[in-house]
Each structure stands twice: as C-alpha cells, then as structure tokens.
Amino acid sequence: MHAFITWLNAYPYNNFPDYTQSLLFAGLVVWIFFRQEKTSVKVKNFLLSFLLSFNTANIFAALINSLINSSFPNKGLSSFFVADFALLLTVIPIGELFRNVVGKGKTVFLFIYAQFFVSNCLGMIIAYTVFQRFLITIILSIAILLGFRQEIRYMAQEKTMLSTDRRFIFSTVFFMALMTAEAEMPRIVLDGSKDGAVNSLAIGVSIVGIFLTVMYNVIMKFSFYSISTYETYLREHYNDVITPAKNLSYLSDHAVELVEYYERKGVQAVVFYTDIQNFRDINILHGYEAGSHVLKLIAEKLMAAFPDGIIIRMSSDHFAGIVPLDGAIEHFDQIRKDVEDLSLDETLLLNIGVYQLSHNFTTDPSKYLMRSIDLAATAMRHIPQGSKEHIQMFNEDLEKAEKIRTHVLSSVDQAVTEGWHDVYYQPLIDIKSGKLAEFEALSRWIDPIYGFLTPDQFIVPLEDSRLVYKMDLNVLRSFAKDAQVQLSQGQKVYPISFNISRTDLEASINIYEEIEKIVHDYHLSKDLVHIEITESALNDSSEKMKEALHHFHELGYEVWMDDFGSGYSSLNVLKDYHFDVLKIDMVFLRHFDERSQTIIASICEMASHLGIRTVAEGVETQQQFDFLKKVGCTYAQGYLFSKPLPFDETTIKMQSLM
C-alpha cells in the first residue's frame, strides 16, 4: 500500500498525459452523443465520462497491483502478468459503466474506449520522457479519432451488424490485452521503466507495438468501410421505396429470427395482410404525391402499433407483416379508424386478414412464409363487401375454402377430362307460346373429394387465375357432343346460351378461334350457339368488350347480356353496346313488388323499341309469368319450369315443355 501512496503522490506529474487524455475523451463523448442536449446534461455527462475514462482504470489498476505485490511480492515475468491482469480487470467493468452512461451499444463504446486506451499504451511504449508520452498520447488520440469520426457517428446513429458481432468485440478486447502487454513489457521484463533508459529489446517491442496499432486501425478502417457499404446496400435492398416500412426481401431474411424471438417470449405470432378500399381514387384525383403521403402515414401507424414486429409494403396499397397476436386486433381496429380519418374524398376502408403462424413455420420458412401471407390475404378477401367488419382471422371454414380453391386450380384439367365438370341445362320458355325455346348451359363441378361445388367455389378462383376459359369451352364442347347424341336419336336440337368470362379475353388462348374450332369440328350451326356476357364484365374492361361484341357478331353469333340491371350504368350499356338479348337480373323478380314490376315493364318496353329480345331470370310463380306475358317479355327462365338438370334428365324434361 505504501508503494501505491508513493505512486499516487507522483501521479499528477508522471501521469498527466492520462488525465489530459481523459479530458479529451470526455469532450469527445459529449460532442458525439450529447451535442443537442441541454447544458446541464452536457456537463453531467462530461464529468461522468471523465471519471470513467482510462485514467480512472489506470488508478484502480495501480491499487490492485500494489495490493497483490504487498501480499505476494513478485518480479520479472510474474510482475508483468499481474500488472496486465490488474489493468484489464479494471478496464472492463469501468468500460461497461461508461457504456451505460452513453446509452449506446457495446460496439461504439468499446471502439472509442479502445482507441484512447491504445493511444495511451502506445505513448508508454514509444516515449522516453513524460512530456514525450504526453505529446504522443494526445496527438495519437486526436489523429486516430479524427480518422474514424465517420465510423464513430455511423455506429452511434445506426443499428449496425457490428452491434451484434461478437468477433468484433472479442478481437478488440484481445487487441487491448495485447497492447497492455506491449506497454508493460519494456517496463517490467526489460527494466526500461526509468525515463531515459534505452534498451534495444525495448525499441523492438515499441516497433512491434506501432506495427500492431497501424495494422489494427487499417483493418478496422477497411472493415468499417466494407460493412457500412454492405449495410447501405441492404438498406436500399430491404427498405420500401415510398414508406418507412421494409420490403418482402427483409421479411424473408428476418422472419425466422423474429418468430423465434416471439417463441422465446411465449408470444403467438401472426401474419397480416391489408387492402385499402378506394385508395386508387386518391392517386387519380389528388396525384401520386398525396397517395404516397397517405401510405407513409399508414406505415408509420402500423410500425408505431407494433414496434417489435416487421411491417412491409407488399405492393401498391397492400401492407403485410409479422406481429404478436396479443393486442393485435385492438391495434388493427384503431389503425382502421385512423386510416378512415385520412380520407380525402371517398372513405378509405382498411381491410385486414390475419393468419396465426403454426409451430412448424421455422422448420421451413421459405415454404411457409409466402403461404402464410397468401392465407392472410385469403382471409382479407373473404370480408364481405359493405360489411361492418373489416378484420378477418383465418379460420377452419376459410381453411376448407382455401383447400377447395387450391384443389380446383390444380385439378381443372382433370375435372374436364374425367367428367367432374358437367353441364346442366335450364330451359327458356317462349312466353307467347308457352313452349320451349332454348336452354342456358351452366357449369357444374361434382368433385370426387368435396362433392357438389357451388359456382363461387370454382368459377371465382378460375377467373382470378385466368383459367375459367377451360370450363367455358368445355361447356360448348359438351353441348356439341350432346347435340350429336340428339341428332343420332332423331331429336330436335335446341339452341343454348353459355357464359364467357371477361378473363377469357385476357387468357393465353384465342377465345374466338377456340369457339370457332369447336363449332366447326362438331358441325354445329351458329344459330345454336348464343354467347352470354355479364353486365359487370363491361364495367371492368369496356374497350375489350366492345371489340369482343363486334368480333362475335362478325363471326355470326348472337351476343346476350346476362344480369342486366345489376350494374350502375345499364342505360349507358344499351347506348354503347349492341346486344341481341337482355337477360333481366333475377333480383327484380325476387323482390316482386310494384317498384320492381315498373322497372321490368320499362326494360321490356325499351328493349322492344330497340329491337332487343328479353329474358326474365328467376321466374318461380304463375303470377310472375302472367305479368311478364302482359309486359311483353320474350322468354322466361326459372324453377317454375325446371331447375338446371344434366343432359339425360333434360331430354326427358323436354317432352313436357315441347
């Protein structure tokens, strides 16, 4: 202890480079981390940084070294190891305290601390006098830190890969230990402790210390450049170009890490998918800047609600991500209300689908991630139009519907070849004569696994995938085969009408050529084939439909409009398109009140003046039939006459309708 007191008394003179460097160290800390803070905060952190600098570590190391030597006197190499151990024993906990003061990650504190530590050690290695050590220590400290000022700011302001890289931390600590050994070796092993003492081995050790310091800083400079360049690329690669959210690549690379983090915390993870109704109108009416601003605000709200989750923008106005289930529905409901408040003209409605991740997600994330997002999107798409509910969890019913959807898409060709897809016929009755006029040919799918599928279960997914043309063409092909059977049996063949979808016009095949081929191959008269197009299809792609009507008419086919009156622009349709027949939507007969009767009568009268025949769908009572006869409707179709039937039963039914 006496030796320590003697050392401490001489400390202000012999070690003024240490506390001078500590003042520089404290000033740098305040300048980097607390520049924008109040003066009181700056002063407090300046004093704390000064007290937790290498100078303090050196004093405690001397105390520990003195206590050990007083109890266990040692010389030479053992004294070297004791001194090295004492210094590192104090540097590590004091450095940890400094990190807590700064409030940043281990990396930035360790790097700053290491640079000052190395500068001090190098000063001890090179210098022969205290003044020389002072100059070398201060000059090196300033030079090294000026050389790494951008890297220090980078580590202080960004969450970098280095913040979790243990190799960086271990290598820096190891280098600090090595430099401690270098600093202590000339003094203890080589007896070069007195000012002015020169020893050739000490000079060699100094050269090695300088070389190690230069190499360490060169390697660190290159490492920082490489990592920062790579992370800049990742930010550009991972960040959404419009909003502060991430993109799908980021989610793909970090999903497992996040889900495992939730699992360790005992938290259930969910995937969500959103759609913003009426968002397109903002871009059209107010410009893309306004639309981008709304997307940024929505991303910020999602990220604020789920700070521990991953929020990405999939495309356009669709956001997705992985978040904890606990509290998610409440957060989504609040965000939905906030999005509604962002409306400029039409109300913005946020629909959200949620899928609960299964435990096997982390076993094969590449397989399950996109499927999970797709299932969340499926849940979102099952939210009914006009519903008050805007959040839908993926459940067992949706799971079954999704299985049917994927089954339909994967087996559509098999359904055609093996007869799962069948054609049912429903008669149209000439209202004046009360006799059979023709049939509507309808798609039906009788599946060996799922049984009788409704049209929504197979037509909608096939339309979405632009594969419904396979069904539509098979309807015509099946009718052609049935017609051949009737002709061979000497029966009369009645015309049919069948639907084509707007997606048939966008599919990979030429729908006109395919229809012509079937008609030609089966020697059908074109008078027997009438093509139906729904009114809603006209709203979706008006120009293509105009071309289609014109082309079908040129080829010699009648074109009928299905579900007339179901859209919002029926009169414009009559003005812009030339149809041979209007099929009045069955909704008017379903609500057969005075108002509906007036509308039906007006449609029939207007169509008659335009030279267009009319069909009333959904006729179920004699009263309705009598009314249609009175107002001049051409044909009636409905359960009053027959439900849709397969071909064999239809031929029997025909006998009673002829």
pLDDT in tens, 24-55: 878 877 877 777 788 888 888 888 878 777 67
Residue 294 in tokens: 């709304």
Q: Where in the chain are the domains?
A: 2-238, 248-394, 405-657
Provide the CA 191 distance to its chain's centre, in angstroms.
66
Q: How far apart are CA 88 and CA 58, in angstroms?
A: 9
Who wins on pLDDT, 409 or 200? 409
Q: How far apart are CA 110 and CA 92, in angstroms?
A: 9
Q: What is the pLDDT of residues 79-123, one digit of tens each?
A: 666 666 776 677 777 767 776 766 655 566 677 777 777 777 777
Q: What is the pLDDT of residues 399-454, one digit of tens each?
A: 888 889 999 999 999 999 999 999 999 999 999 998 999 999 999 999 999 999 99
Q: Do 383 and 390 touch, CB atoms closer than 8 A?
A: yes
Alpha carbon distance, N-terminus to C-terminus of the chain: 123
Q: What is the pLDDT of residues 369-390, one digit of tens each?
A: 888 999 999 899 888 777 778 8
| Helix intervals (H) in 452-521 | 455-464, 469-488, 511-521
Neighbouring C-beta atoms of residue 235, cutoff 10 Å:
12
Mean per-residue pLDDT of the chain: 81
* pLDDT band per the 50, 70, 90 thresholds, residue 324: very high
Q: How far apart are CA 653 and CA 330, in angstroms?
A: 57
Q: What is the pLDDT of residues 555-590, one digit of tens each?
A: 999 999 888 876 655 677 777 788 999 999 888 888
- Burial call 104-127: b when 16+ CB within 10 Å, e when fewer: bbbbbbbbbbbbbbbbbbbbbbbb
Q: How far apart are CA 543 and CA 548, in angstroms?
A: 9
Question: What does the pLDDT read at residue 191?
Answer: 45
Return the minimum-mean-pLDDT range out of 146-160, 252-266, 424-438, 603-617.
146-160
Q: Identify any residues that bridge with 497 across adjacent strands, giving them in sequence order.
A: 440, 530
Question: What does the pLDDT read at residue 84?
Answer: 66
The domain over range 405-657 is classified in CATH as 3.20.20.450: yes
Angle, CA of 477, 480 and 485, to the nearest 5°: 130
Mean pLDDT throughout 308-325? 92
Q: Identify any residues that bridge with 311 across adjacent strands, giving them in sequence order.
A: 321
* CATH architecture of the domain with range 248-394: 2-Layer Sandwich (3.30)
Is the confidence at residue 188, as pLDDT, over 60?
no
Q: How many helices (H) and strands (E) does the chain have?
A: 27, 15
Q: Do 217 and 147 touch, CB atoms closer than 8 A?
A: yes
Residue 312 in tokens: 């990405």
23: left (phi over 0), alpha (psi -120 to 50) or beta: alpha
* DSSP assignment letter at 644: -
Question: What does the pLDDT read at residue 480?
Answer: 94
245: left (phi over 0), alpha (psi -120 to 50) or beta: beta
Is the confidence at residue 610, as pLDDT, over 80?
yes
The pTM of the full predicted model, rounded to 2 decimals, is: 0.58
Q: How far apart are CA 226 and CA 75, in angstroms?
A: 45
Mean pLDDT throughout 527-541? 77
Residue 507 in tokens: 């599919």
User: How many alpha carbons fall within 13 Å on the CB side of residue 172?
Assistant: 24
For every residue of 171-203, DSSP letters joined together read HHHHHHHHHHHHHHHHHHTS---STT---HHHH
Question: What does the pLDDT read at residue 189?
Answer: 47
Q: How far apart are CA 273 and CA 372, in angstroms?
A: 10
* pLDDT band per the 50, 70, 90 thresholds, residue 306: very high
Question: What does the pLDDT read at residue 85?
Answer: 72
